[in-house]
A and B are shown apart, each in its own frame.
Chain A
Amino acid sequence: MTTAPFIQCRSLTRAYRKGATVITPLRELDLDVPAGDFVALMGPSGSGKTTLLNLIAGIDRPTAGSLIIGGVDLGRLSAARLADWRAASVGYVFQLYNLVPVLTAYENVELPLLLRRMPSRERHRRVALALELTGIADRHDHYPRQLSGGQEQRVAIARAIVADPPLLVADEPTGDLDGESAAAIMSLLVRLNRELGKTLIMVTHDPRSAAHARRTLHLEKGRLVADDRPNAEAAA
């Protein structure tokens, strides 16, 4: 008996129009990712990495093909249903953290939980747990401007995991960090993958970051050109 992959892309294509020109950053991509995998997406600029990540995160829609995640065909969801799916199923970690500047670290992490009906005590418990897990609990009342890049990214990761989504996507999460902070963030992401079983899709230009993944996909001109599984045995 075979289990269906957690992420299933079939002939996945994304094209958009820029003036008279049609640009196709992603062309007929086929991809299966099992639950709990850690995939690094690599490739030169314009290769379609971020486009694929955005499609998987449900913040963009395919022009053609299908994208099924956790049994849900994202292409068939209405905008509102897709938003609900994002709230429940995916946590997004940005390269530039993208915290809301007028909110404290605690309030930023709390944001996804504001969409859920739950007692404020439970909300508080979950936020505290996420901050604790990412090692930033002592800075909970700090505003983003009062945090270093590495600390901001920890808050962003706490925000991504606070609603306990099965899927995490990260767009160059260490791209704006110094070596030490980058290593710490990568080790945190690896822990989330290995200890909490989160499926992790990460765009990166950095081979050292990609080395943490179990699988590295190389894209060029919107097509998958290589699928390396140097750490595949770790996934077993």
Chain B
Amino acid sequence: MINPRHLPLVFKQVVRHRTRTLLTVGGVAAAMFLFCAVQAMQHAVARATDGRADETTLVVYRENRFCPFTSRLPEHYERRIVAIPHVRSVVPLKIVVNNCRAGLDVITFRGVPEESVESLGLRILEGSLEAWRARGDAALVGRSLAARRGLSVGQSFDAAGVTVTVAGIVDSDAPQDQSVAYVHLPFLQRAARGGGQGIVTQFNVKVDEARHLEAVARAIDAEFRDDQEPTYTSPETAFIARAAHDVVEIVGFTRWLGWACLAAVLGLVANAIVLSVQDRVKEHAILQTLGFRSGLIAALIVLESILLSLLGGAAGAGAAAGVLAWGHFALTVEGVNIAVAADPLAAATGVGLAALLGVAAGLFPAWRASRRPIAQCFRAV
């Protein structure tokens, strides 16, 4: 029915009222920007908090504590945890943040024992592990944090009363590692306010198989139930979900914002198309007089609607991807980072939805335009 040779007609109509088109495309772009940003946040939270069947990492935290400043566990717990069956490795971590509240630009220091750093699965992008080992105040800085703060190797920076020197920029498959600075555990224990030798915030425990996760967690908590510092052990994703509960709830609410954005796109495009079709009643009658079938007229109108919506959708999705990629944002709360990255899936979803909304917005005006008797159209104008 519709053919590539008809496309210039559609383009001509789209650029016909430039101001109206720009306003519509701009409005759609703004709405789709918001939608894609919300989607990226939703995906980031889902990635960080959805339990996986193959998950093998547990986080041991102080029972009834939710903030890294108040979770204070004796470092020597490590030896007892290692002895529990099915535990493969234990990494004691000291966590210090410059802001305990939720934020998009929080600096998180993670103190790790020197011998454990290789087990973190970090990829060195700049600098070296040797440089980190050679210097007591050295930090391996996550890629996102380095980009966000403009940090480079050799540069010193301080936060939360801790001054460190960047020994390397690192990347990792774990979203948590993108926005943290790994430092030596003894250094952080000394440097942090209220630090304390022999005290850590948490233990990251690797178990040998995912099916042992729950049993090991129960065994760890049972081991320390009667100690002065009892523990609460949970899978890493559940730990993040619990620690970032408020943020997760807020991000969950933003789903409604996303729906509202889509409704706005539908309204904007439908309004533009209705106005455009009303202006062109006579032209459609002329085209029909020339032999254009009403179905073809309807298809041209729907195509025009799709084009408007796609232009705005692509601009909005592209802008959202650009801003997120450039900003390297991480939702951080209680020392837990949820990296909000540019999400190609969210962008593609946004563009796809924009096209669908274009179809939906164009259908009714197209149907009306195609149903109008030709002679009546000429009489009406």
Q: Is the CB of A84 within 8 A of B293?
A: yes
Closest to B15 in A: A102
CB < 8 Å neighbour of A111 from B16, B285, B290: B290
Contact A54 B375 (CB under 8 A): yes
Closest A residue to B373 using CB positions: A60
A interface residues with partner B (beta carbon < 8 Å): 54, 57, 59-60, 79-80, 83-88, 92, 94, 98, 100, 102-103, 107, 111-112, 114-115, 120, 159, 163
Asked if residues A159 and B373 are in contact (CB atoms below 8 Å), the reply is: no
A103 nearest in chain B by CB position: B12
CA distance A80 to B293 in the complex (A): 6
Decide yes or no whether B152 CB sits under 8 A from chain A. Answer: no
Q: List 25 A-B contacts (CB under 8 A).
A: A59-B285, A60-B373, A79-B294, A80-B293, A80-B295, A83-B293, A83-B294, A86-B291, A87-B290, A87-B291, A87-B292, A92-B289, A92-B290, A100-B287, A102-B12, A103-B9, A107-B12, A111-B287, A111-B290, A112-B290, A114-B3, A115-B290, A115-B291, A120-B5, A159-B290
| Shortest distance between the CB of A178 and any CB in chain B (Å) | 24
- Chain B positions within 8 Å of A, measured between CB atoms, are 3, 5-6, 8-9, 12-13, 16, 282-283, 285-296, 373-375
Bound Cα distance A107, B282 (Å): 17
Cα(A158)–Cα(B260), bound, Å: 50
Measured CB to CB, the closest approach of chain B to A203, in angstroms, equals: 13
Enumerate chain A residues within 8 angstroms of B12, measured Cβ to Cβ.
102-103, 107
A112 touches B374 (CB 8 A): no
In angstroms, how far is the closest chain A Cβ from the Cβ of B293?
Answer: 4
CB distance from A111 to the nearest CB of B (A): 6
Q: How far is the CA of A123 from the CA of B296 in the complex (A)?
A: 20
CB B266 to nearest CB in A, in angstroms, measures 26
Q: Which residues of A contact B295 (CB under 8 A)?
A: 80
CA distance A80 to B291 in the complex (A): 9
Contact status A60-B293, CB under 8 Å: no
Nearest residue (CB) in B for A92 is B289
B304 CB, nearest partner CB in chain A, Å:
12
Give the distance in Å from the alpha carbon of A79 to the alpha carbon of B359 in the complex: 24
Residues from chain A with a CB closer than 8 A to the CB of B9 are: 103, 114
- Known: A79-B294, A114-B5. Contact between A100 and B289, CB under 8 A? no
A111 to B6, CA, bound (A): 9
**Minimum C-beta distance from B367 to chain A (A):** 14
Contact A102 B16, CB 8 Å, known A59-B375, A60-B374, A114-B5: yes
- How many angstroms from the CA of A118 to the CA of B373 in the assembled complex? 29
Q: With A and B bound together, what is the CA distance between A159 and B375 in angstroms?
A: 19
Contact across chains for B291 and A84 when beta carbons are under 8 A apart: yes
Given A102-B12, A114-B5: A59 and B289 within 8 A (CB)? yes
Besides A80-B294, A100-B287, A120-B5, 9 more A-B contacts (Cβ < 8 Å) are A59-B285, A80-B295, A83-B291, A92-B289, A92-B290, A102-B12, A112-B290, A115-B291, A159-B290
Nearest A residue to B6 via CB reads: A114
Q: Which residue of B lies closest to A86 (CB)?
A: B291
Are B375 and A115 in touch, CB under 8 angstroms?
no
Per the bound structure, the CA–CA distance linking A86 and B286 in Å amounts to 12
Partner of A102, one of B3, B13, B296: B13
CA distance A60 to B285 in the complex (A): 11
B residues in contact with A94, CB < 8 Å? 286
In the bound complex, CA of A236 to CA of B132 (Å): 106
Q: A111-B287, A114-B6, A114-B9 are in contact. Are A83 and B292 (CB under 8 A)?
A: yes
Write out the residue numbers on chain A whose beta carbons fall within 8 Å of the beta carbon of B291: 83-88, 112, 115, 163
B286, A100: Cβ atoms closer than 8 Å: yes
